[in-house]
């Protein structure tokens, strides 16, 4: 068994909801459409909450929606009309994958580049490490 198998095993044995104190609430994107653009009004606030760089989330959005994205002040502009619910759904997936610790459910994490094109999500609250794409 290698380290990843052990991690997988540990995850499977955890109950769904650990229920330790307050839970992190995934912030909601404030989205509006203007012409052919979709604008996320609270983008910089969101970044502060999830402590991720704009580059990382921009890359994710432009890949998921196949649309160029440009930050503009506190806002993010996506150069196509997009559905608000879909945007929030994808954003929730992003936060679950790249922000929230699978072990303890806390958002106090950062991403470490381990080389060989692999990255790990490191939890500052419980010390858990899990591989991310
Ligand atoms: Zn943790």
Do both 107 and 95 map to the same domain? Answer: no
**Would the pTM count as exceeding 0.85?**
no
Structure tokens at 92: 């929730």
Do both 76 and 126 map to the same domain? Answer: no
CA of residue 56 to ligand 1 center, whole Å: 21
Structure tokens at 40: 């996320």
The answer on pLDDT for 18 being more than 60 is no
Do both 51 and 12 map to the same domain? Answer: no
Q: What is the mean pLDDT of residues 15-30?
A: 73
Residue with tokens 């999830």: 50
Q: Residue 75 belongs to what domain range?
A: 25-99
For the stretch 58-67, pLDDT in tens is: 999 999 999 9
CA of residue 126 to ligand 1 center, whole Å: 4
The helix or strand, by DSSP H or E, that contains position 78, with its residue range, turns out to be strand 75-78
CATH at residue 36: 3.30.70.3150
Q: Report the domain count for the chain.
A: 2
Residue with tokens 């983008």: 43
Query: Beta partners for 71?
Result: 76
CA of residue 66 to ligand 1 center, whole Å: 32
Do both 64 and 116 map to the same domain? Answer: no
Which of 47, 27, 28, 30 has the alpha carbon at shortest distance from 39? 30
Do both 35 and 62 map to the same domain? Answer: yes
Do both 67 and 87 map to the same domain? Answer: yes
Query: Beta partners for 129?
Result: 122
Count the alpha carbons within 13 Å of 99 in the hemisphere toward its beta carbon.
21
CA of residue 108 to ligand 1 center, whole Å: 7
> pLDDT grade, residue 117 (50/70/90)?
confident
Inter-residue contact 125 to 100 (CB < 8 Å): no
Query: Beta partners for 94?
Result: none
CA of residue 53 to ligand 1 center, whole Å: 20
Do both 72 and 60 map to the same domain? Answer: yes
For the CA atoms of the chain, what is the radius of gyration? 16
């Amino acid at each position: 068994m290698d380290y990843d198998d052990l991690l997988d095993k540990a995850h499977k044995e955890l109950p769904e909801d650990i229920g330790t104190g307050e839970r992190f609430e995934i912030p909601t994107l404030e989205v509006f459409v203007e012409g052919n653009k979709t604008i996320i009004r609270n983008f910089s606030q969101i970044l502060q909450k999830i402590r991720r760089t704009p580059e990382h989330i921009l890359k994710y959005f432009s890949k998921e929606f196949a649309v160029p994205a440009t930050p503009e002040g506190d806002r993010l502009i996506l150069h196509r009309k997009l559905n608000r619910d879909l945007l929030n759904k994808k954003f929730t997936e992003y936060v679950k994958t790249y922000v929230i610790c699978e072990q303890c459910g806390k958002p106090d994490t950062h991403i470490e580049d381990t080389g060989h094109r692999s990255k790990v999500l490191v939890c500052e609250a419980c010390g858990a490490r899990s591989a991310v794409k």
